[in-house]
Chains A and B, each alone.
Chain A
Amino acid sequence: MEALALKLMSAVPALAGVPLWAMTLLVMVVVAVILLVFALTFGGLGSYVLRKVAGDIQVRIGPNRVGPYGLLQFLADGVKLIMKEDIIPAKADRFLFALAPYLVFVGSFAAFVVVPFGVGLIASDLNIGVYYVMAVTSLVVIGVLMAGWASNNKWALLGGMRAVAQIVSYEIPVGMALLPAVLIAGSLSLQDIVRSQGGLLGIFGWNLFHNPFTFFSFFLYFTAAQAETNQTPFDLPEAESELVSGYNVEYSGIRYAFFFLAEFGDMFVVAALASACFLGGWHVPFFRAETLPGAWGNLLSLGAFLVKAFGIVLVMMWVRWTLPRLRVDQLMRMSWKYLVPLTFVNLLGVSLWLLVFRGKGIPQLIASIF
């Protein structure tokens, strides 16, 4: 941030008199607003795409009234949600009830800070990036439990209880499944992880094809992350056919919208992490985007990253409209009996591979023969 501020001040003479701290703060706010706008737009357009995909899968049309092809449906929905009465149940814990949705939203939005959108396009390239994401997304647990408890509704409480058990259980396999990428890059920074995958090997430079264990690791991560972010088939905390709507059953209006946005934010963060850690992030196959002059490199890499991330989001939507829901005990069994041991074995496999082959993946090994 500070570097960016310095660059700006030297580039624009009029800004030379502004103190550095003010400039840095300004840059931070601007970046945060850009990210927020991105998150909100993604939530809005994501909901449109989700409904269109659902429509296609379920042999119906989906939204098609507001704007061309129903594209503006999300604006209408947003306006509706803002105008709705904000109901707080009489016996609810008013403070916690009001606070919970923001905690949930902040938990998912804060992860956007370290999402490597492209060459140099990252709000803050923390050297503990992966760890940071794991940490801030845990905040969601507190928010969800708060919402469930404060609503003073038994269905909401059950949803909150489920969410806590689920998110805490699945954090371990998620972290363990991401570690292979960290091991290969030798860094927790997401930009470093992305950089370690590029090169002229094209898609074979991706961690996904590094070795059999990383290939497996991607699917483990995808499954566990789906569960950690309460996506179908692991959407037990808000199982509408069992718990009516789960932890957010008593929420209405804008507070409900925050839960909704957080859900889409989570979706994007999972997709972004999967593409950054396993699918080469912003790398364009067989091409070095970072060598392009000016902003073109940034834009091209941004495009590549978004294509990959949205591709994964589409797969998540596809899964969502295909699979039924697990039962709570089956969900726990899946985490503790299958995913956790598998990710540990997998991590061991990756470590051994890196040790034996001195950090080289299968594609590099094949390439080194010629």
Chain B
Amino acid sequence: MTRPTEALHTQEMLINMGPQHPSTHGVLRVLLRTDGEVVVNARPDIGYLHRGLEKIGERVTYAQFMPFTDRLDYLAGMNCNCAWAWAVEKLAGIEVPERAEYIRVIVSELNRISSHLIAFGSFTADMGAFTPFLYSIREREVVNDLFEMVCGNRLTYNYARVGGVSADLPQGFLEKTKEFLDYFEPKIDEYNNLISYNKIFVHRLANVAVISAKDAVGYGLTGPNLRGSGVKFDLRKDEPYSVYPKLEFDVCVGTGERGALGDCFDRYMVRINEMRQSIRILRQAVAQIPEGPVMAKVPRLFKPAAGEVYFRSECPRGETGFYIISDGTTNPSRLKIRTGSFVTMNIFETVTKGLMIADIVAVIGSFDIILPEIDR
């Protein structure tokens, strides 16, 4: 979009987008300086959802922090649960039974699907097409039903434990999961036919907010936002943890198929394609899962040796990392949480310069940010 010439220059307008706005995906406030419809500057203002999770982490034991990780990214509670468990196990050197690791991978990938479904649905709703949103909600309900079977909860799961998971999979869960995968896989084609390759939709996203691979790495983007710029980096492959090395899947990257590499459309398509890969992983995991215990023998109160550990795992919104410093007591001495959405906000002001107001909505949607992860 070209800026109006100087002769047409008009007075700039300062607009408050949020913290209550339908398309900021929560309580994000963006200060827009606009020249008519053209955005001169968009400054994100965060902190409306700050709960001090990191400080809380220092006051509770390692096991007690588990429910708080649900609130880290409430659309991907399982992924955060497992990430915390893996981080503490790495710190304390706990061996986890293989069945538990498989269960963790299954619930994580299911949660990745449901999280990407919300990303897809809310993004299309932001673009003005409300129908796909309800389709995505319909599919997400099935995942929620599966999680209800597993742990009794539909949003905040608190399922993983340090040393395993809280309970074994219930009877019939694996069959139900297979059923869901068979039902869900064709739906992705349905989405693509309905909206992904819709001409208006593509025109709204292609070449908007292009992030080069260099910038993406430089600003520390992770997850689908990084891969959308064509950088093939996935922690499940490049820093393998759990049983991911035993499972075959491809890392989806943006290809610039409808515009420049690293535009909003690429980031969107990465998520769509990742749902297919998650289905692939799930099919293998469901077939391979061994019998056995789901919990290692871990004392209720354990004291990891003094030291520090950083563990990062691939969550739907990028890298979620826990940096834990232990002083040998039952609580962490210091806890730092690195989340994908928070780091992504760094590049927001840079890429939105010169876009239009409607594009700001597209950029927020394509980043798939979630506010509890930004503010923690």
Contact = CB atoms under 8 A, between A and B. Distances in A.
B7 interface: no
B361 interface: yes
B201 interface: yes
Contacts of B358: 236, 239, 242, 325, 327-328
A50 to B, nearest CB: 12
B22 A323 contact: no
Contacts of B55: none
A209 to B, nearest CB: 27
A208 B135 CA distance: 36
Given A58-B131, A328-B358, A329-B1, A323 B37 contact: no
A324 B129 contact: yes
B188 interface: no
Nearest to A328: B37
A232 B128 contact: yes
Contacts of B129: 322-325
Interface in A30-71: 57-60
A244 B15 CA distance: 13
B23 A58 contact: no
Contact of B356 (A60, A154, A327): A327
Interface stretch (B119-127, B303-311, B325-333): B119-127
A153 to B, nearest CB: 10
Contact of A321 (B13, B21, B130, B138): B130
Contacts of B194: 322
B37 A241 contact: no
Interface string B189-221: 000001100101101100000000000000000
A58 B195 CA distance: 14
B134 A327 contact: no
A123 interface: no
Contact of A155 (B15, B125, B138, B361): B15
A323 B361 contact: no
Interface residues of B, number: 31
A241 B362 CA distance: 10
A314 B46 CA distance: 43
B58 interface: no
The secondary-structure label for the interface of chain B is helix
Given A323-B198, A323-B200, A327-B358, A58 B21 contact: no
A161 interface: yes
B23 A242 contact: yes
B93 interface: no
B203 A58 contact: no
Interface string B243-273: 0000000000000000000000000000000
A60 B13 contact: no
Interface in A290-326: 321-326
Nearest to A235: B128
B142 interface: no
Contacts of A57: 131
B131 A327 contact: no
A304 to B, nearest CB: 32
Contacts of B130: 58, 321
Interface in A240-273: 240-244
Contacts of B357: 158, 242-243
A240 B22 contact: yes
B128 A239 contact: yes
A291 to B, nearest CB: 46
17 contacts: A161-B37, A233-B200, A235-B128, A240-B22, A241-B23, A241-B127, A323-B128, A323-B129, A323-B200, A324-B129, A325-B204, A325-B358, A326-B203, A327-B358, A328-B37, A329-B356, A330-B204
Interface of A: 57-60, 154-155, 158, 161-162, 232-233, 235-236, 239-244, 321-330
Interface of B: 1, 13, 15, 21-23, 36-37, 124-131, 134-135, 138, 194-195, 198, 200-201, 203-204, 356-359, 361
Top 7 A-B pairs, shortest CB-CB distance: A325-B128, A324-B129, A324-B127, A58-B134, A324-B128, A241-B23, A327-B358
